Amino acid sequence: MKLNDLVIVGVAAATAVGCTSAKNEYASFELYPVPSGSLTEMEYTPQTTRFSLWAPTADEVRLMLYEEGEGGHAYRTVSMEAGEEGVWHAAVDEDLMGRFYTFNVKIDDRWLGDTPGINARAVGVNGKRAAIIDLRATDPEGWSEDRRPPLQSPADAVIYEMHHRDFSVSPASGIAHKGKFLALTEEGTRSPQGLSTGIDHLRELGVTHVHLLPSYDYASVDETRLDENQYNWGYDPLNYNVPDGSYSTDPYDPAVRIREFKQMVQALHRASIRVILDVVYNHTFSVDGSNFERTVPGYFYRQTPEGTYADASACGNETASDRPVMRKYMVESVLHWVNEYHIDGFRFDLMGIHDLETMNEIRAALTAVDPSIIVYGEGWAARAPQLPQDSLAMKANTHRMPGIAAFSDELRDALRGPFNDNAQGAFLAGLPGSEESVKFGIVGAVDHPQVHYDSVNYSRAPWAGQPTQMISYVSCHDDMCLVDRLKASIPGLTPSELARLDKLAQTAVFTSQGIPFIYAGEEVMRDKKGVHNSFQSPDSVNAIDWNRKALHADVFAYYKGLIQLRKNHPAFRLGDADLVRRHLEFLPVEGTNLVAWRLKDHAGGDAWQEIVVVLNARLEPARVAVPQGRYTIVCRDGLISEAGLARVTGGELTVPARSALIAWK
């Protein structure tokens, strides 16, 4: 999701609600019982399959068994029995392997309709019925030996955000399983010019993490009509705990999507790349007919004081993370993805809708499994959530969520221009006034004595306790990609000028003390034909054209060089606010559209005693005074070479127009 947190105002909500009548003893949501056990709804053995459903307001619950994942009628109906803590139970003493099931809840003489439950782990086509399978049978060969690639610190991460279809669907990708999970398992794929694509391309580029746009079961793509090339980003959740069928080779077979997702993760891990899942717990595709609403009406969604459904997501609803069972559900869900699918991190869509307590519980649960699992999100909401702002996981409260990061729209918009005006430029366009906001991003949104926060675009104070709590980026799937934004905000750019500014932008991202994040295809100058909200645009808009890798070989080499430079030199990824304050010093410059700093005293134990970085967005060369010394230039005029491009002695460095310079002594 996009949008900026400037529109957010905290709103306190009334408690109770009455979207649907409930049992008298549960007159308010605070009185609903919280299950002490897991929310797991199906446990299979060849002898007995046990079903359970948390439905505390139900008068009656039925379990429906089906032969197929769609069509036909239930061949058997089983009445479930009410148990403690609002949980209903049923057991079927026969081998149900390969069958499907739904629940139907009755409240006040009204049956709410079939649902696979809130916690289906396997589903049939389009996710309308849950499936009975043995998850262990979906494990690919060697799955038990699969391990996360090493990661010493989140500061070491380099994140690559991608959509399955965008990445592989182009005929130029050379990939057989176009638009599928398996696309990321294919090695040796090549563009028409013989350059690496797919997973080999990611390995060559040097990224450490792939951020997958929503890959759980979402509602907007009809899995029975995949030949029609439907497209969606997937921010419309249906079943949170099972992979989407449209990215599998057979959406009708419940085991296939699970096995192929695991094969993808396994292949990426073998390539030393971790996997981040984009999760959208803040809203569902709809309220009416949703799995939540057909199970416990009203409970999983927030309401306005007037009793209508709240809508901080601008998608029709907002979920109630602050209610104990929703919080429990979210914690169990991320743990399921970690334990079953070996996921290495999570990006939370509209994280500002969730409450701080829930996000901190999620962080604690993941840390108990593996502290290196990354968590970050959008520190804003589309509209004001129904909780006080100081209780929400907003960007301004990031310092109260240790181990959780937020995107920095300060740096993004300082570089390219405001999110709400595609034609307006900023630093890259040579417009004055964004320098302090760029500095804010360079230090990783932490407190630094040389940043004048009263001049920062959106934040008048640092919001990160550590630099690894800031995601550094200039574009993502939302809004225009970088090439399109540069074209829109700086009319008349020549191809060479466009490439220069693209490189300059990413130099800021990769030399920031935050965690660098790039959008898939930016390294080959991807464009989306000017479409800024391409969530359902065709492949002609969204697909990465792999011919561009040869056409823009210099840009790819620059991105690759930046990543390697960051990996090789810990000064660029100090990972600690005190170290940033101690070692990062901004250099005085005259005029605007110029930011310069040095990383001094072998920062982070770096072999280089001192590193100077200069970002020059001017139309002419800039001269920057530096401490006297003999400098080796490793980045200048759109080229990178750690062996050295030139050597300069003295107290001044000259930086060509619209470019970055990195030097060391």
Among 156, 340, 378, 585, the active-site one is 378
CA-based nearest residue to 470, from 424, 412, 528, 423: 412
Q: Tokens representing 459? A: 């934040």
Q: Tell me whether residue 311 is one of the annotated catalytic residues.
A: no
Among 236, 349, 478, 479, the active-site one is 349
Residues linked to residue 190 through DSSP beta bridges, in sequence order: 196
Q: Tokens representing 91? A: 């057991």
Q: How far apart are CA 187 and CA 176, in angstroms?
A: 11
Tell me if 44 sits within 8 A of 32, measured CB to CB: no
Q: How far apart are CA 216 and CA 548, in angstroms?
A: 30
Tell which phi-psi region holds residue 392, choosing left (phi > 0), alpha (psi between -120 and 50) or beta: beta
Number of H helices, E strands in the chain: 13, 26
In order of 302, 502, 593, 594, 657, the CA distances from 620 in angstroms are 54, 17, 11, 11, 5
60: Cα separation from own chain's centroid: 39
Q: Tell me whether residue 606 is one of the annotated catalytic residues.
A: no
CA-based nearest residue to 127, from 270, 236, 280: 236
Q: C-alpha dihedral over 451, 457, 461, 464, to 10 degrees?
A: -90
Tell me if 240 sits within 8 A of 277, measured CB to CB: no
Give the helix/strand (H/E) hosting 502: helix 495-511
Instruction: Tell me the pairing of strands 100-107 and 110-111.
Output: antiparallel
Q: How far apart are CA 411 and CA 440, in angstroms?
A: 7
Active site residues: 349, 378
